[in-house]
Chain A
């Protein structure tokens, strides 16, 4: 790959030579040398290991290694799709991500609009800072934070229930509450950041638009409805399609660390990423783990290509490649 890179750089250089001799040639090499560390890192840590993806088509035997193990066709894929986990895993991954995308956008836009109402610089800064705070916490820390609320014995929620004269609830054993918890935690962690994205496109809107709106006698609601939202629509669309491209990936930390890997909750916390982890470390079958990883990559690849095409249709500059 590196060679191809260099070769093409060389040929391109010579073709350019005809138009602009020497100078461009030097620039090209300079640029290439600048970018070389990343070329190299990506080649080593991303492209070389991709060869290992063949394990998805192998019946892995430690004694023979990845490449020496016997081929097994699509058996690993069949295993996944035949297993009862498949339905649950796919449903959860797609379900949560859909909810995350829709609610995420609604809430973040809502908060962004509210932020745009705030005049005082100090308050604005205060809100922005505090709202970004969850974005900075690792999932391990979030798990600790959640324990302070949901712990059976000492948790604040249970203390509160007891004060109300209600029974304590063993939260980490009750699957029915967790879809709400997971969505809430996801929103809690991402709204701050995402709303800033929308906020910035709101303030980028030409302020004369608002002024003319005010002259026309728009009230606040009308201003939001007819001026603000249409103006940030492109941003919303971009954010949405980018998220759709990742719809088959789930945040491992959110679904594994935060519910503390509780077995009872597995029906509502099992997603593709936790399944791959379980296959690899608990069941110890890296063939199946590899197969599911491959499915994930392929779905991602297809979705992203589609999304990229759509993005380009919305705005030519938006395409990533």
Chain B
């Protein structure tokens, strides 16, 4: 038997218990993140060496360096914002996916199960196709609202006799998503081709041209949502025992499930609003995390988040590198990484 050791934190408000390995893994991930971050900033058409990147970021680059101003511009205005966006979006999607998988007890559930991507997509495509130059501040807000409204609608339609059975939720989710998808597609078929192409890029998920304003919005929301998710992690552990056992342990199952759903949907909606629908992260990151730290959600959620963040930062670098000077949207890269990973799982046969 492997002797499992735990770290336990107890306060009057909450208690927290996680695998002893979790902090070390988190540290390792952050280290990896740091390396990829520096590599990613240094890579590009305007090349900057890693040491110069570090110097610029730490502010130790001498003022009289011949390229001082260019370095500052490239690092802080062009490259760093998009990388941060990728990182935070990855965190949000991975956490959201881990919660969704916990609620539905289905390892294949992803953050977009409740129509978040469909609703956001409809609003985004409508704005991009109808209003020619939609401002970058309006788009995230509108898509965020679209995502939440769709999720809410699915939940309302699935509500019956004081409950929302997971199967009914999924079936109605599929139906509503297909209606929303049909409207989106109609606009894609009849819209002006230039705008349609732009809309396609958005639908695939991209962090191209994202600015500090996006980063601030993301961080603002996630500073509230992520801690909430981590604090509710124990509910997921209990839900995984089955509704009856969870009730026996004193959970108000339906109510706490709704709270978890809201957190998960909000996380996904924030991410989608800023970067479009990036697939696979919400599916893969929790999978990898589960293999490393086990199924207890208190360690699983934060570690998934870090895996998701690191994964997207890496995917962003790959997307800029693989067909340079042109670039591949980050959502395509995640699918190209994600599919082989799942095939490997399939081959190992641990999922059957």
Q: Do A and B come from one complex?
A: no
